[in-house]
Structure 1
Amino acid sequence: MPSLPQINPLRIRSYVFRLPLCTRLLLVIIVALWAATIPVDWLREWASLIPDKVGLTSMHRLNTFPLMHLNFLHMIFNIFALAPLLERFEAEFGTLVTLALFTGPFGLLPGGIYVLLEKYVLRSNTTVMGASVWVFLLLASEAMKTQKANPNFSIGPYKIPTWTTPLILVFIISFLVPNVSLVGHLCGLGIGYLWALGYIKFLVPHEKILRWVEGKLNLLGRLPHYVSVDQKTYGRYGVLPTAVPLSNVSRSPEPGQRLGP
């Protein structure tokens, strides 16, 4: 009889304490908002994305709907899916970029497209909420990176383009899981693909501005688990660092320092 996988609380605790600053901040907000809806039930309606209620005085919905969840299971599944993806994104692009994007364009763009499609194409008013829009956005970005190294994967005699993996997953989940928003997930995927292809990276502040803010406020020294512009794993937009011949590197008996969290 196969043994069940063992859950190691120490490894879970270690992983949680290694999460970078913006990732843990967004996860804490998600949990806090869910907890707040228990005594304050109207908060869920206030934060969710309802196409007919989006106007000049309620634009906050475009930023709050990924943070709000329908119930505990909805929240916990999205957290487990989001945490490793968001952690990897922050390690690559830095805390300031992650904070700017996930409190701004990465909510506004998929949310805005969803509202337009619902109101003017589908003629519907379906309410959506949940961080799954971010999950599929990040999955699309990761799939495009994997595409460069592994353009295809095989299923029997068929070769499937790697970039279609999250798209296939969206349709499978929509078929198997009730009450999920296919249109909302597709909007998240679309923004993720645009990000990975470089079409919307102009939305990120210039690196000189980010460096100035970090230095002026001494964010690296003041904030624990902060990922600076200079400590990203792969550079600003995933560019690998230039190789240096080993002969030109001074040897030291001290162990090297690992980049990133």
Structure 2
Amino acid sequence: MERRNFLKVMAAGATIVAVNPSLIRGTLYADDGRLYTAYEKAQIVDASGAPIKASALEKEVTYIFNYPFASTPSMLINLPEATQQEVTLKSEAGEEYVWKSGVGNNRTIVAYSAICAHQLTHPTPNDSFIKYVPKATPTMAYEKSGIIVCSSHLSAYDASAGAKVLGGAATQPLAAVVLEVAEDDTIWAVGVLGSDKFQDYFKAFKPELKEFYGGPAQAKQLVSISAKTVKLTEYSKEIIQY
């Protein structure tokens, strides 16, 4: 199985130990500043429950799956080109961490929290103001496309570099969902890298959590085993992009 976003932590006697994130729980601050939170391991599946293969993902299409909680939407994107590697990022609190790269044979597959780091804009079954904008589609948010844009306030994120902020009001990258691609080409979500906005989201959208998920308790349930994944055009009735 392909392993990405491994952490290195300092152990007794100054020995460096490689830690597989899918085997640990809790928040780790590694010696080099990388921030990782492990969650339940979940396979990326389609609407019928069938595993989605990495090689079957369409290029430059925004897919949505809820992870790590039942109500927290994430974006899955197969980029047209290989991502950058070993990108150093910084949270709004000043914590540095390292995003390793995309996954898959060509390092083109990435996943990020779809909750905007600025004012928590996110996809709902009714509408979405946040999405990946293909390279051939212009956007008001930045000088070039092939990026993630939140059209609420035109925050722009670099999908090929750990969702680094390119422009707009956002003060930190989108949290990255850590993926693994198995030998059989299936895709698994195993954790979250970076500073997330999950608790702020839960506090700000209680009526929405009740409307779509039955209430806060259900909305905060951890996703495990599998995560249903659909195109954004199927997830939201209306998609707004500037």
Q: TM-score range by the shorter chain?
A: under 0.3
- Normalised TM-score (structure 2): 0.25
Task: With a CA cutoff of 8 Å and minimum separation of 6, indicate the structure with the bigger relative contact order.
Answer: 2
- Flag the structure with higher helix content: 1
Q: Which has the larger radius of gyration?
A: 1
| Greater fraction of residues in strand | 2
Q: TM-score, normalised by structure 1?
A: 0.24
